[in-house]
Amino acid sequence: MIRFNRRYFGKLAAMLAAGSALPVEEIIAEPAKAVAGGSDRSFPAGFLWGSATASYQVEGAAKEDGRGVSIWDTFSHTPGKTANGDTGDVADDSYHRFPEDIALMKQLGLTACRFSIAWPRIFPDGTGKPNQKGIDHYRIFCEALLNAGVTPFCTLYHWDLPQALEDKGGWQNKETSKAFAEYAGYTAGKLGDVIKNWMTMNEMASFIDLGYGSGVHAPGLKLSKQKLAQAKHHAVLGHGLAVQAIRANAGKGARVGCAENARTTIPAYNAPEHIAAAKKAFVEENAPYLTVMHTGKYTEGYLEKLGADAPVFTAEEMKAIAAPTDFQGINCYTAEPVRASTNARGYEVMPRPSSYPHMASQWLTIGPEALYWVPKIAAETLGIKEIYITENGCSSDDVVAADGQVYDTDRVMYLNAYLTQLQRSVSEGAPVKGYFLWSLLDNYEWADGYGKRFGITYVDFNTQKRTPKLSSKFYANLIARGGL
């Protein structure tokens, strides 16, 4: 490849018109750097490349091997709650087809896999008698991952709460926080030899706010402000108690964190006052979850805003909530532009005009710069030392072309843009150690059912045939080159 000396471009037309001989050596400035096998935009050696899935979204086998009923079974089987009445009864049938899924991971060159354990497979009733068949399943799965050279990253709660616990109040009941810690400790004790990287929960901000606030997710409740604030408190308490239980039971080398969908505040544009505002907003907007988990305190702003609706808590609980973790997982899809303001908080989260671009899911507005700013801001404001991007990806209106392939060029564009920003962040020192793409497979997208496809592998839900999309080739190429 040849690179031209840009200074000549203006003169070229005139020279050509006059029929003069072209000074080739001056026009060619330098040979371009070879690109094959190397990249200016590389990630550090040892950076983990993974995919992410969750039990209810991929496993199926809802009634097999002693699995109990979860709130998502109940919710998805309630008419009117999910698109088309879709349920996760079969999903990707990954409970049976996981060897094929792991073969896909190998083909991609993944070094890590984020998956979740279904609580009702381990304790069908939430507490009490454990189910050995559940433990056996995840042991076999993890051994297969390890044999393929893929490191397991396990989430203990990706929203499938045993229905028996919901019947006693679910996350409104402090007993659920304790039951979660017992389940976490028990499972870590049984699987600590094959799983070293543990995440307590996935996205408290989703399963509480959507499940108990707006009611669009299981269990479909719309609680009062006070009850909702208390449920949030029970979630972070459950996380903290589980961190302690995992440490006590998992054995040597266990590392513990959680995967949270932080509010991804970014500066409206690159100006000192807006950067400062985005930092303030990050701490304040994440007050009920990420901030309290890393500081052991609810911010004054949060407590003031809630007033009489603030959660009831003890000093001992606050200590447990802030149990030290080894890493923080951040699920990052969108960005929230923030600007400096003269209001009491000093910032304003900006509105989005209706022309703001989004992917196939309405909520999935495009904001690649989140992967530049959020790791930096999280590290600086909350002192987080090790970060994984535990989810990033997008839905596309995928179609199978006449040749049987899926050309998801929009997903490639999305991933390319976000990963470029992540590389920029890491190269400037943000402590991000790995990236998990959501998702390996098209799967059950909660209340959106099977209509929203997030996979880099297309799944025909009638036949369970898996077809890697263009984006999977993009990802494999990036992993092989170690960069963009």
Give the residue numbers marked as catalytic.
203, 391
Residue 3 CB, nearest distance to ligand FCB (Å)? 41
Consecutive H or E run containing 392? strand 387-392
For ligand FCB, the binding residue among 98, 372, 446, 474 (CB under 6 A) is 446
Q: Which candidate, 152, 166, 205, places its Cα nearest to that of 74?
A: 166
Site string for ligand FCB, 341-380 (x = CB under 6 A): ----------------------------------------
**CB closer to ligand FCB, 166 vs 445:** 445
Q: Confirm or reject binding of residue 203 to ligand FCB (CB under 6 A).
A: yes
Nearest-angstrom CA–CA distance, 78 and 183 = 27
Q: Confirm or reject binding of residue 260 to ligand FCB (CB under 6 A).
A: no
Contacts of 360 (CB under 8 A, 6+ apart): 394, 395, 396, 397, 452, 453
**CB closer to ligand FCB, 131 vs 392:** 392
For ligand FCB, the binding residue among 55, 82, 261, 472 (CB under 6 A) is 261
**CB closer to ligand FCB, 75 vs 347:** 75
Site string for ligand FCB, 81-120 (x = CB under 6 A): ----------------------------------------
Q: Confirm or reject binding of residue 209 to ligand FCB (CB under 6 A).
A: no
AA identity, residue 159: W
Q: Confirm or reject binding of residue 74 to ligand FCB (CB under 6 A).
A: no
Q: Confirm or reject binding of residue 331 to ligand FCB (CB under 6 A).
A: yes
Please report which residue ranges of 157-253 form alpha helices under DSSP H: 163-166, 174-191, 204-207, 225-249
Counts of helices then strands in the chain (DSSP H, E) = 18, 15
Residue 202 CB, nearest distance to ligand FCB (Å)? 5
**CB closer to ligand FCB, 43 vs 115:** 115
Q: How many CA atoms lie within 13 A of 51 on its CB side?
A: 28
Instruction: Specify the residue for token string 């699995």.
Output: 67
For ligand FCB, the binding residue among 131, 172, 187, 202 (CB under 6 A) is 202
| Binding footprint of ligand FCB, residue count (CB under 6 A) | 12
CA angle 393-97-188, nearest 5°? 75
Tokens standing for 69?
């009923």
Contacts of 270 (CB under 8 A, 6+ apart): none
**CB closer to ligand FCB, 27 vs 417:** 417
Q: Confirm or reject binding of residue 212 to ligand FCB (CB under 6 A).
A: no
Contacts of 167 (CB under 8 A, 6+ apart): none
Nearest-angstrom CA–CA distance, 76 and 82 = 6
**CB closer to ligand FCB, 177 vs 202:** 202
Residue 54 CB, nearest distance to ligand FCB (Å)? 5
Nearest-angstrom CA–CA distance, 207 and 139 = 27
Nearest-angstrom CA–CA distance, 441 and 428 = 32
Asked if residue 180 lies in contact with residue 188, where contact means CB atoms within 8 angstroms, the answer is: no
Asked if residue 338 lies in contact with residue 265, where contact means CB atoms within 8 angstroms, the answer is: yes
Enumerate the β-bridge partners of residue 198: 154, 256
Q: Which candidate, 314, 331, 426, 320, places its Cα nearest to that of 373?
A: 426
Contacts of 55 (CB under 8 A, 6+ apart): 115, 116, 117, 118, 121, 158, 160
Q: Confirm or reject binding of residue 384 to ligand FCB (CB under 6 A).
A: no
Q: Confirm or reject binding of residue 438 to ligand FCB (CB under 6 A).
A: yes
For ligand FCB, the binding residue among 391, 398, 408, 410 (CB under 6 A) is 391
**CB closer to ligand FCB, 93 vs 391:** 391
Q: Which stretch binds ligand FCB (CB under 6 A): 38-46, 95-103, 202-210, 375-383?
A: 202-210
For ligand FCB, the binding residue among 156, 440, 445, 466 (CB under 6 A) is 445
Chain positions 448 to 477 lying near ligand FCB, rule: CB under 6 A, are 454
Residue 366 CB, nearest distance to ligand FCB (Å)? 14
**CB closer to ligand FCB, 131 vs 457:** 457
Q: Which stretch binds ligand FCB (CB under 6 A): 199-207, 274-282, 299-307, 335-343?
A: 199-207
Tokens standing for 78?
């309630």
Would you tell me which residues interact with ligand FCB (CB under 6 A)?
A: 54, 57, 202-203, 206, 261, 331, 391, 438, 445-446, 454
